[in-house]
């Protein structure tokens, strides 16, 4: 018995030491990419004008631009508002479906149809009350609707994840269309069920790819299984999805646990490792996995350790901050700043922080048609901020 206990202790000690060394190396690597206070190209906070376009929004979460320059903004508590380009809020639009506004759940991301100019169709992702085959709780769901001057018409839920859980955590719910007019929807692991992120027969911890009617795209990788909508898997809690302006590739950013936030370039059928590999540990300090690499699992384009709690992801394209063209912009909830990652030859370079003194949790980042940068602040009295130079 003593020898058996000794062997177990030895294995645990070896695993802990290995993990400690791995994290030391990871921290060193991440610090080499960590943000600088001095800014490249001479652009500092002093060169950026911050205008509050709107305030009084209840935890604004997602935004999308309309062709005329107006914006739709979601409120996690359950609302969608229209914001005119001169800063006037519509009030909550009518006929928005009820959401489960619990913890991280509620009305989340929003986007417009690729043919919005001719069909006035929008899509939004929200936590929907679900009771299916004895499973009761909420799930990430996508609805499409026709936008009118005062509200929504023809509201139709086109997709609901089978990850129905009675908690308010890890919904994912970011939306993005690609050049083929396929809709990518991020699904979180719902916190309790992290191991299911490796099971391609369900929607836990997945990115799904669907047509505009909610059906699975024909060349999705797992169309013979129980979750034909799945495009990629092994994700934890995606908080940003965007399309690379040159390659057309889908990029996704997700929260790690304590450490290990990451940006990934998505590929059809690829496994991004969670929770079998991770650069993070549990919030309790326990080891989730002692591995950061495994055969058949993709490595992130970049990761953060310690975590910055990133939210909102886009590439800068425009003339206003033309020095930043091609760089990645993300918000930080934890450290309350806008972060820019310089991209050099497709690889992550130096990172820079802006607006740290504002003390605002940045939930979403978008680039407007005129090249200005727009931010949502996650607060009971949330704001839409416009950055110009």
Of 141, 144, 238, the residue nearest 186 (C-alpha): 238
The string of pLDDT tens digits covering residues 152-167 is 999 999 999 999 999 9
Of 11, 239, 10, the residue nearest 109 (C-alpha): 239
Q: Alpha-carbon distance 325 to 333, whole Å?
A: 24
The string of pLDDT tens digits covering residues 122-177 is 999 999 999 888 889 999 999 999 999 999 999 999 999 999 999 999 999 999 99
CA-based end-to-end distance of the chain:
71
pLDDT confidence band for 115 (50 / 70 / 90): very high
State what percent of residues in the chain have pLDDT above 90: 87
Q: Alpha-carbon distance 342 to 337, whole Å?
A: 16
Of 241, 234, 239, 318, the residue nearest 272 (C-alpha): 234
pLDDT of residue 50: 97
The string of pLDDT tens digits covering residues 365-383 is 999 999 999 999 999 999 9
pLDDT of residue 26: 42
Enumerate residues 6+ apart whose C-beta is below 8 A from 178.
184, 243, 248, 250
pLDDT of residue 108: 98
pLDDT of residue 35: 61
- Residues 305-327 have a mean pLDDT of 97
Whether residue 345 is predicted with pLDDT greater than 80 in this model: the reply is yes
**51 membership: H or E segment, kind and range:** strand 49-57
Supply the pTM of this predicted model. Answer: 0.91
Average pLDDT, the chain: 91
Radius of gyration of the chain (CA): 21
The string of pLDDT tens digits covering residues 274-283 is 999 999 999 9
Are 343 and 329 contacting, i.e. CB atoms less than 8 angstroms apart? no
Whether residue 387 is predicted with pLDDT greater than 90 in this model: the reply is yes
Domains of the chain, earliest start first: 55-323 (2.120.10.30)
Residues with catalytic function: 170
Match 């898997």 to its residue by tokens.
233
Q: CA of 207: how far to CAs of 107, 238, 242, in Å?
A: 19, 9, 13
- Edge-to-edge strands, sheet with 206-210: 172-177, 183-187, 206-210, 230-233
Q: Alpha-carbon distance 316 to 193, whole Å?
A: 35
């Amino acid at each position: 018995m003593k020898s058996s206990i000794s062997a177990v202790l030895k294995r645990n000690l070896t695993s802990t030491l290995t993990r400690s060394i791995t994290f030391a190396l990871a921290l060193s690597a991440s610090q080499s990419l960590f943000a600088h206070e001095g800014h490249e190209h001479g652009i500092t906070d002093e060169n950026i004008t911050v205008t509050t376009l709107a305030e009084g929004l209840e935890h604004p979460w997602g935004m999308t631009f309309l062709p005329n320059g107006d914006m739709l903004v979601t409120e996690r508590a359950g609302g969608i508002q229209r914001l005119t380009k001169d800063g006037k809020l519509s009030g909550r639009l009518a006929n928005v479906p009820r959401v489960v506004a619990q913890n991280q759940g509620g009305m989340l991301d929003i986007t417009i149809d690729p043919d919005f100019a001719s069909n006035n169709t929008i899509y939004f992702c929200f936590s929907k009350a679900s009771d299916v085959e004895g499973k009761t709780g909420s799930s990430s769901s996508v609805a499409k609707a026709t936008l009118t001057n005062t509200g929504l018409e023809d509201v139709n839920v086109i997709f609901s994840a089978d990850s129905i859980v009675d908690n308010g955590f890890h919904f994912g719910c970011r939306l993005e269309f690609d050049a083929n007019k396929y809709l990518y929807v991020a699904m979180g692991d719902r916190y309790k069920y992290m191991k299911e992120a490796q099971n391609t027969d369900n929607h836990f911890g997945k990115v799904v790819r669907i047509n505009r009617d909610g059906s699975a795209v024909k060349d999705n990788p797992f169309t013979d299984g129980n979750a034909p909508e799945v495009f990629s898997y092994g994700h934890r809690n995606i908080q940003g999805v965007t399309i690379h302006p040159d390659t057309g590739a889908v990029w996704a950013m997700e929260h790690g646990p304590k450490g290990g936030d990451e940006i990934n370039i998505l590929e059809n059928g690829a496994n991004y490792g969670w929770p079998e590999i991770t650069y993070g540990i549990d919030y309790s300090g326990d080891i989730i996995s002692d591995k950061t690499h495994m055969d058949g699992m993709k490595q992130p384009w970049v990761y953060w350790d310690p975590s910055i709690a990133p939210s909102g992801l886009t590439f800068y394209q425009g003339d206003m901050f033309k020095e930043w063209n091609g760089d990645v912009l993300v918000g930080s909830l934890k450290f309350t700043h806008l972060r820019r990652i310089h991209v050099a030859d497709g690889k992550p370079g130096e990172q820079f922080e802006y607006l740290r003194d504002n003390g605002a949790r940045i939930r979403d980042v978008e680039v407007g048609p005129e090249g200005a940068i727009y931010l949502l602040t996650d607060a009971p009295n949330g704001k839409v901020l416009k950055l110009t130079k």
